[in-house]
């Protein structure tokens, strides 16, 4: 089902697509290819944080549920090399860095509906060469598909006509209890290492083993705000892999979300500065499957350069149970 959700400040129509299969219902906005709602049968509240007001998505909720690219996360000093040439990007974070590709980010664009049926939809977008400093005309398609009993799979395909940087991630915030904060949830991550960050929340370049640290989530454990603070990429692998389970989040309600991905990293952000209007900090926890952040500026990291003739595919899947 497709309905009108609202319109942008320039009058562009934004649609909302409802998908349903088995015990799961999801709603997708064409603005930002945003996952606006995820509902599980028998659970009286939404599992992800969205809004019914388009004004929220045009304001402080621009990262809630959106598909962020062409490069999610930070690019240090708003610059990065591609084949030896340094490219400059928009400075929009702490006066020094690029965050989420700046105003060129796909989270602020209205995507076209390429195909849809009751269980799936495909959205498409073309990014112009040079926009935001990123080279290459890039063709992007993302498919959201629901399958019984309760899984949602996001498959992204990107091609380019010139070497460029590609690192997308869905940026949904989750609270499996419908509570004012996620305190008391249990978290498990299949990661042997984490990327420490500096004061600007960008990787230092160190790859630090989690053993013996507060970042060791190899076994499920209860989490609470600030213990530890979370805005780090957990190392899943040294390269993109076949789809595999990487993260488990369980609420005190007993609702569990299992996350699978092809990507080599998963950024976990505790949401201390990302609450919805009128809500408190730590309302939801972000789980962002992606390549390692700021990779072009760290030669030891898995690189995110994509070239003509070698399109890239990223897959992330969420499965729910109670």
Query: What is the domain-level CATH number for residue 20?
Result: 2.70.98.10
Overall pTM surpassing 0.95 (yes/no):
yes
Average pLDDT over residues 20-48: 98
Cβ atoms within 10 Å, residue 84: 5
| Residue pLDDT, tens place only, 102-119 | 999 999 999 999 999 999
Q: Percentage of the chain with pLDDT > 70?
A: 100
Range scoring the smallest mean pLDDT among 148-152, 274-278, 288-292: 274-278
Q: Which residues contact 45 (CB under 8 A, 6 or more apart)?
A: 178
**HSE of 291, CA atoms in CB hemisphere, 13 A:** 27
**In whole angstroms, what is the distance from residue 7 CA to residue 85 CA?**
39
Q: How far apart are the first and last CA of the chain?
A: 26
| Residue pLDDT, tens place only, 127-144 | 999 999 999 999 999 999
Q: How many domains does the chain have?
A: 1
Confidence of residue 275 (pLDDT cuts 50, 70, 90): confident
Do the Cβ atoms of 203 and 195 come closer than 8 Å?
Answer: yes
Report whether pLDDT(249) > 90: yes
Q: How far is the CA of 317 from the CAs of 90, 101, 199, 247, 295, in angstroms?
A: 31, 24, 31, 11, 23
Q: Which residues contact 33 (CB under 8 A, 6 or more apart)?
A: 66, 67, 106, 111, 123, 125, 142
**16: containing domain:** 2-321
Phi-psi region of 151 (alpha: psi -120 to 50; beta: other; left: phi over 0): beta
Q: Of the candidates 53, 60, 47, 69, which has an alpha carbon nearest to the alpha carbon of residue 14?
A: 53
Do the Cβ atoms of 24 and 146 come closer than 8 Å?
Answer: yes
Average pLDDT over residues 192-207: 96
**In whole angstroms, what is the distance from residue 236 CA to residue 240 CA?**
9
Task: Please tell me whether residue 131 adopts helix, strand or coil conformation.
Answer: helix
How much is the pLDDT for 58?
A: 96
**In whole angstroms, what is the distance from residue 34 CA to residue 48 CA?**
11
């Amino acid at each position: 089902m497709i309905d009108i959700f609202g319109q942008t400040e320039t009058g562009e129509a934004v649609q909302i697509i409802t998908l349903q299969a088995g015990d799961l219902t999801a709603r997708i906005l064409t603005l930002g290819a945003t996952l606006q709602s995820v509902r599980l049968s028998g659970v009286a509240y939404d599992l992800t944080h969205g809004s019914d007001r388009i004004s929220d998505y045009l304001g402080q909720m621009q990262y809630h549920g959106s598909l962020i690219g062409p490069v999610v996360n930070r690019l240090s000093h708003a610059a990065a090399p591609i084949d030896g040439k340094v490219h400059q990007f928009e400075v929009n974070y702490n006066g020094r860095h690029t965050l989420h590709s700046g105003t060129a980010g796909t989270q602020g664009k209205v995507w076209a509906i390429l195909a849809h049926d009751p269980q799936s939809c495909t959205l498409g977008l073309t990014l112009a060469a040079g926009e935001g400093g990123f080279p290459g005309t890039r063709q992007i398609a993302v498919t959201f598909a629901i399958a019984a009993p309760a899984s949602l799979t996001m498959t992204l395909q990107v091609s380019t006509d010139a070497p460029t940087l590609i690192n997308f991630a869905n940026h949904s915030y989750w609270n499996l209890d419908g509570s004012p904060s996620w305190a008391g949830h249990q978290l498990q991550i299949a990661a042997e290492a984490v990327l420490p960050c500096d004061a600007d929340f960008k990787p230092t370049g160190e790859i630090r083993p989690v053993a013996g640290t507060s970042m060791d989530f190899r076994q499920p454990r209860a989490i609470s705000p600030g213990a530890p603070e979370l805005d780090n990429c957990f190392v899943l692998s040294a390269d993109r892999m076949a789809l595999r389970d990487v993260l488990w989040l369980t609420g005190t309600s007993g609702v569990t979300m299992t996350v699978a991905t092809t990507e080599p990293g998963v950024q976990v952000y505790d949401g201390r500065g990302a609450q919805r209007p009128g809500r408190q900090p730590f309302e939801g926890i972000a789980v962002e499957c992606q390549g390692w952040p700021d990779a072009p500026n760290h030669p030891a990291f898995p690189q995110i350069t994509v070239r003509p003739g070698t399109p890239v595919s990223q897959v992330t899947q969420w499965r729910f149970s109670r």
